[in-house]
Structures are given as C-alpha cells and as structure tokens.
Homo-oligomer: A and B are copies of this chain.
Amino acid sequence: MKPLSNDTMLRAFMREKTDYTPVWMMRQAGRYLPEYNATRKRAGSFLGLCKSPDYATEVTLQPLDRFPLDAAILFSDILTVPDAMGLGLYFAEGEGPKFERTVRDEAAVARLAVPDIEAALGYVTGAVRQIRKALDGRVPLIGFSGSPWTLACYMVEGGGSDDHRTVKAMAYQRPDLMHRILEVNARAVTAYLNAQIDAGAQAVMIFDTWGGALSAGAYKTFSLAYMAKVVAGLKRENEGRPVPVVLFTKGGGLWLEDMAATGCDALGLDWTIELSEARRRVGDKVALQGNIDPTVLFAGPETVRAEVGKVLASYGHGHGHVFNLGHGISQFTPPEHAAALVAAVHELSPQYHR
C-alpha cells in the first residue's frame, strides 16, 4: 500500500500536531450529490449500492472528487450486521430501513448468533479493500458500524420508531432478553469492525444513533456498557500505526465523561453541545469530532463560513479537533454549500494550530 499523502485526520484523532483542522462530513457520499443519484439509479437500489464493492467504491470516492475532504468513509449501512444475522433488511420506498423478521420473543432471541463475517459480510470487507486501492493513499478510510443498542432498536422494532416503545419495554420488562441480544450484537460488531480494520480501514466509528433516546441510567446499562465491550475488543494498531476509534452517541452530550472512559480515542458530537464545554470536560482524554448543525448548510455560503468560524473558535487553539457535521448531511443540501463548508474549515482553521 502507498503511504498516506494526507494523514491529518488520523493525527488529529490521536491529538497529535496538525497544521489545520481536518474535515469530513457524515453521509458525505449521499443523495445531495447528483453523481451519487446517477450511480444509485444504475445499481437499482440503496442496498444494491452497499452490496456491490464496485458501486460502493465509486460512491465512496465521489465526494472526494468534488471537495478536498480529509477522509473517506466506507459507503455502507449501519444495519448490515443484523441483515447478516438473517433478519432480512429491506428498504420500503421513502420509509427507511425495515426487517422482515423481528427479535421480540425468547425463541427469536435464542436463535441469534454472531454471523460468519467473511461469508455474510464479505461484500463489506471487499469494498474496504477496493476503496483503499482506489484511494491510493490520498486520505485515510474510515470504517463503521451501528452500536449494539442501535442495532437492537431496529431488530426489536423491525424498523425506525418515534418512541422505541417496543425495544424499551423489553429492556425494562425483560432485561435478560435484552442483555442477550446486546451481548451477541457486541461480539458481532467487534468481529465486523476488526474485519474492516484487517481489510484496510484506518479508523473506525461506532454510530449510536439511538443511545440518546434512553434515560441516563438505561444508557449506561444498555448502550454504553456494550460499546465499551466493543472498544475493548478492537485491534488498535494496523499497518504500523494506531487505528483510532470514534464513539458517537447522538444526543449524548450529558454523558461525555462516561463515553470517554470507554477507552475510545475520540467522541463524535452533535450540535447541541458547545465544543468549548465538551473540550473542558473531556478534551484531556479524547479528541472531538463535530459539530456544526447540518441545517446551517441551507443558508448561503457566507453564513456557512461564519458558522464554521464559530465552531472552530469554540474548540479554540490546539489540536485534537476533527471538523464534521453534528449529524448526516441532508439530501436537500446544495452541494456548493458543502463546498463552502470544507473551504471555510481549511481557510479559517490554521490560525488555531500555530
């Protein structure tokens, strides 16, 4: 493998010196890009994109050809693992992810098992290998998975949910069943992320989209404890350098100290917390990734630039900040506003690294 010509993000995740603040955008390969929609049309569906290493490679690289981003992120879905467990992931038009089979009773829970990663998820590791080749050292590649709890939300509910009442009722009423699901999920996610690292992922991120729907106590019991198990089981070095682990709980701003204590290298932050506050609380333990509100991108380029400036100023002087959105970029975002964001980060951040 060719050595990285831009390893700024990897150094920022390890809180090492960088000349500027690196930037990537959650869901940067997505429906706001016309070239993505064209490829998706050829692939026939979203899952068709995910399951073909050729297509996944193509769309992973698209945003890098438009914007000078400091990282690529594997194009995939957070629900590949329960799909590999045999639950039958599908996407109903305009409705989000759904599973053909839910996991709601003793029998279904007993049937759950860690999938054979190469057999069931070889399309993902294949995509990682192919993307690394295609990147040819331009920027690092981030791998990812949903968190054990977030996967459980979809597995029990059978799809998205406004209030997660089925999965939460199970957690409160039958914690034994819930812990068994989470235990299997944690082992599967660990194996899955390690396989991505073996295939060439240079950093990994755990997306805990629904941890923030829990009470503080339930979050620690049902989400954080299992993310900590995953973190403890990951390969932390590959190709002679550290593989940073990023934890992102949407709505987790109250629990940063507990998240940092898992031993991860960085925390992803949504836009509800001031970076200055997050840094004061956990900046001596972890790097911080985030956290501009993605809806800022609906305002014009001048406003985007001003808001980027505020986020950079909030983190302040020093290293250990990876610029990102606080959540995935909206499909309705004008691509030129995303361009303005990336340019502003690169233009305005060097002053904080001198």
Contacts and interface: CB of A to CB of B under 8 A. Distances in A.
A164 B254 contact: no
A169 B298 contact: yes
Interface string A296-311: 1011100100010010
Interface string A269-298: 001111001000000000000011111101
A299 B274 CA distance: 36
Given A254-B254, A272-B251, A273-B254, A332 B215 contact: no
A303 B332 CA distance: 43
A214 interface: yes
A330 B253 contact: no
A212 B310 contact: no
Nearest to A252: B272
Nearest to A166: B298
A127 to B, nearest CB: 29
A173 interface: yes
A303 B172 contact: yes
A168 B271 contact: no
A293 B291 CA distance: 27
A223 to B, nearest CB: 12
Given A173-B300, A215-B291, A253-B254, 14 more contacts: A164-B295, A165-B330, A168-B296, A169-B295, A169-B298, A169-B299, A172-B295, A172-B298, A172-B303, A173-B299, A214-B272, A217-B274, A253-B253, A254-B277
